Amino acid sequence: MQNGSPLPEKAAIHSQTVAGKQFSSTPGSGRIEVLGRYIDEVLQPGERVRYSTTIHGIIYVPGVVCLALAVAAFVASRSFQGDGLTLLLLGGSAVLAAIGAILVLRAWFWRWTVETDVTTMRVVHKEGFIKRRTFEMNLDKVESVDVDQSIAGRIFGWGDVTIRGVGEGEERIRMIGSPLEFRNHITAH
């Protein structure tokens, strides 16, 4: 406990900005309080988060495209009166809306359950909600960090990062936002 705070000391140390939002575990700081992040559970005393990222927002695009097509099909159905084509367009609109909603919810859940952080001592990556998969590597054990980006990934800012460790194997983190900045925070320790 720290300063009468109900939070453990390691959680009170954690404060950073993620995706333009300020997060803090320090009560009374006037900032948004976020509890339940994996990194808050595993921070060691004196360890601080230097950089946090997650899956890039581009994963929403397929669902949003389906929803836009559903709206277009619905609007097109309104131009036909009592025609068999109206029923076909309405049915297509409903199917596309359902698929779009499922894709958007799936993308949101995937993005919500993935955390990738660089601390002052290690790289921490967590995937999953009920079934959790984690990867942690000390910064002094990192041998190389490779970034793979497609042309669209370079334009919109996402990519895959492969971290190779000395005697620790390798880990590939897919579709993260700002992969070059993530790499720079690992290699500049």
Spell out the residues 6+ positions from residue 33 whose beta carbon is closer than 8 angstroms to its own: 23, 24, 25, 27
The CA distance from 70 to 66, in Å, is 6
Instruction: Give the pLDDT band (50/70/90) at residue 1.
Output: very low
Yes or no: say if 74 and 88 are a contact pair by the CB < 8 Å rule.
no
- DSSP code for 140: G
Rounded-to-integer distance, Cα 186 and Cα 65, Å: 35
Q: What is the mean pLDDT of residues 24-37?
A: 48
In the block, tokens 């140390």 appear at: 13
Q: Let me know: does 128 contact 151? Beta carbons within 8 Å.
A: no
Question: Would the pLDDT of 105 be above 80?
Answer: yes
Rounded to an integer, the average pLDDT of 65-88 is 89
Give the Å distances, CA to CA, from 85 to 6, 88, 96, 114: 63, 5, 16, 43
CA 35 to chain centre: 16
Dump the DSSP string for 35-97: ---HHHHHPPTT--EEEEE-B-GGGGHHHHHHHHHHHHHHHHHTTSSS-HHHHHHHHHHHHHH
pLDDT band at 21 (very low <50, low <70, confident <90, very high): very low
Q: Name residue 126's beta-bridge partners.
A: 115, 134
Confidence of residue 99 (pLDDT cuts 50, 70, 90): very high
pLDDT of residue 48: 93
Query: Global pTM?
Result: 0.72
pLDDT band at 80 (very low <50, low <70, confident <90, very high): confident
Residue 69 has pLDDT above 70, yes or no: yes
CA 184 to chain centre: 18
Query: Which stretches within 78-156 are classed as H helix?
Result: 84-112, 151-156
What value does the mean pLDDT of the chain take? 83
Percent of the chain predicted with pLDDT > 90: 63
- The yes-or-no verdict on residue 25 having pLDDT over 60 is no
Q: Are 54 and 114 in contact (CB under 8 A)?
A: yes
The confidence band for 51, taking pLDDT boundaries of 50, 70 and 90, is very high
Domain residue ranges in the chain: 9-55+114-187, 58-110
Report percent pLDDT > 70 for the chain.
81
Fold of 9-55+114-187: PH-domain like (2.30.29)
